[in-house]
Copies of this chain bind each other. A is one copy, B any other.
Amino acid sequence: MRKISDSTVRRLSVYLRFLEQAKSPTISSGELARLGGTTSAQVRKDLSFFGSFGKRGLGYAVPELTRRIRDILGLERGYRVVLVGAGRMGGALVQYHGFRQRGFHITAIYDQDARKIGSRWNGLVVRDVKHLESDLKKDPSDIAIVATPAESAQQVVDRLVRSGVKAILNFAPVPLNVPPDVEVKTVNMALELETLSYSLANR
């Protein structure tokens, strides 16, 4: 498959959100663009990398385009997701319905702290992180969320990678080293605030 830019994939995800909320049976690239904060040419170009899904003069059939984008993004299958780090961020994430709605199911939670192990979180019992490898051997997951302190993040990631996890959403504010067949996205909120600071400082 031709190399698709990250920005295109992110926009597809944005379009998908609006398609799922659309009430009319068809939608034009212009309308999707307006909703998603881009241009109609961009919408059409993004889609054109994957095929031609529209009808000239009419636009796109909402149900079909929705299905196509879900398919492109690999959302038709569901994902089992394990969470490591049952702290404040982990707690917010576990209760967040937005993930489940989109097919990402948190199926296990791990922590190191004896006070947390055994407690019940949103129907799941927090397990000792020492069982991470053996649990993943029995019930593999493709995706893991890392919400441990920065100091332990790399070590946790190494264990996840050894256990066959192929994609990691990382909340610790450190870049992580992984082999090339593993994908990592780091959400770094302090960094986002710093870009806001930059824009305040330079106007």
CB–CB A195/B6 < 8 A: yes
Interface residues of A in 155-203 (CB under 8 A from B): 166-169, 173, 175, 181, 183, 185, 187, 189-203
A30 to nearest B CB, angstroms? 16
Chain copies in complex: 2
CB–CB A198/B88 < 8 A: no
Asked if A74 is at the interface of the complex by the 8 Å CB criterion, the answer is yes
CB–CB B74/A197 < 8 A: yes
Neighbouring B residues of A203 by C-beta, 8 Å: 181
Of listed A9, A104, A197, residue having the most chain B CB within 10 A? A197
Cross-chain pairs A/B with CB under 8 angstroms, 9 sampled: A13-B195, A14-B191, A96-B189, A102-B190, A102-B193, A169-B192, A185-B192, A187-B187, A187-B189
Q: Which residues of A contact B (CB under 8 A)?
A: 1, 4, 6, 9-10, 12-14, 16-17, 35-37, 72-75, 79, 81, 88-89, 91-93, 95-96, 98-99, 101-104, 142-143, 166-169, 173, 175, 181, 183, 185, 187, 189-203
